[in-house]
Chains A and B, each alone.
Chain A
Amino acid sequence: MVSIHHYLVVSAILFSLGTFGVLTRRNAIVIFMCIELMLNAVNLSFIALSSYLGNMDGQVFVFFVMTVAAAEAAVGLALMIAFFRNKESIDVEDFNLLKW
């Protein structure tokens, strides 16, 4: 039977894949996509636990996580467009004006 542990392990695997992507990729948009992957892994945990505990709080929280992710997508991508306009590249190795 499919217990809660199955869903939580899938969520953990997706979260660690997202972590690896955020830490290693150089393209800023791909880093953003890996952040969305991590957020979705946490959403899966929330809904799995909400279903197995018979409580609606987890699912309402997922609703708010989705809303915040949408707002973050809009602002983050606008920021990347502003970067690209100045530097002609969105490689994170080129964002080094604040480096000492």
Chain B
Amino acid sequence: MIAIEAIFFYLVALVAITSGFLVVKCKSPVNSAISLVMTFFCLAIFYVMLHAPFMAAIQIMVYAGAIMVLIVFVIMLLNLGTEVGRRYTHGVVWAAVLAALVLFQAVTFVRSGDITGLKGSITPDMVASVGHTELIGRSMFTQFLLPFEITSILLLVAIIGAVILAKRKV
């Protein structure tokens, strides 16, 4: 009996990897942006398959909804057309060798190892009954409260920095 979950996983993985490849390959930056949005949607599907529905929603809202919209606005603002010059720098072969090396090393480490950590207490049944949002809230506002507050300061600094960098007369 062929598991339907495995077929679904391979299908979504194929779409995600094809979209990732198109991000690198497309001549027009708008096409790359649209392929990246497709990759983000496939990753959100993966998060739902991994019993993390809150992170899937946040992924779509923040990445596909905010960051990609910002990127497309900047592409339209700068009025970039299709690239007329060369698309790649002169080190394509060396970069391909390096990327293949990174891939080979990562896959070797993944296939030869096993997960040896102690299993925690969060099971899919607990995620379904208690609610994923509450579990993340319990963790983030008690144990990770300091990074949360620091992140808010980081966002304030980023907003001020972005406004100053893009002004005409500072």
Contact = CB atoms under 8 A, between A and B. Distances in A.
B17 interface: yes
Contacts of A60: 136, 139-140, 144
A54 B121 contact: yes
A30 B47 contact: no
A90 B122 CA distance: 47
Interface residues of A, number: 72
Given A25-B87, A26-B88, A51 B95 contact: no
Given A12-B103, A40-B43, A77-B70, A26 B75 contact: no
Chain A contact residues: over half helix, strand or loop, or mixed? helix
Contacts, number: 233
B128 interface: no
A12 B40 CA distance: 16
B62 A70 contact: yes
Interface residues of B, number: 84
Interface of A: 1-2, 4-10, 12-21, 23-27, 29-30, 32-34, 36-37, 40, 43-44, 47-57, 59-60, 62-64, 66-75, 77-82, 84-85, 90-93
Of the candidates B51, B52, B107, the one having the most CB atoms from chain A within 10 angstroms of its own CB is B52
**Residue in B86, B154, B159 whose Cβ sees the most chain A Cβ within 10 Å:** B154
Contact of B50 (A12, A18, A48, A67): A48
B40 A69 contact: no
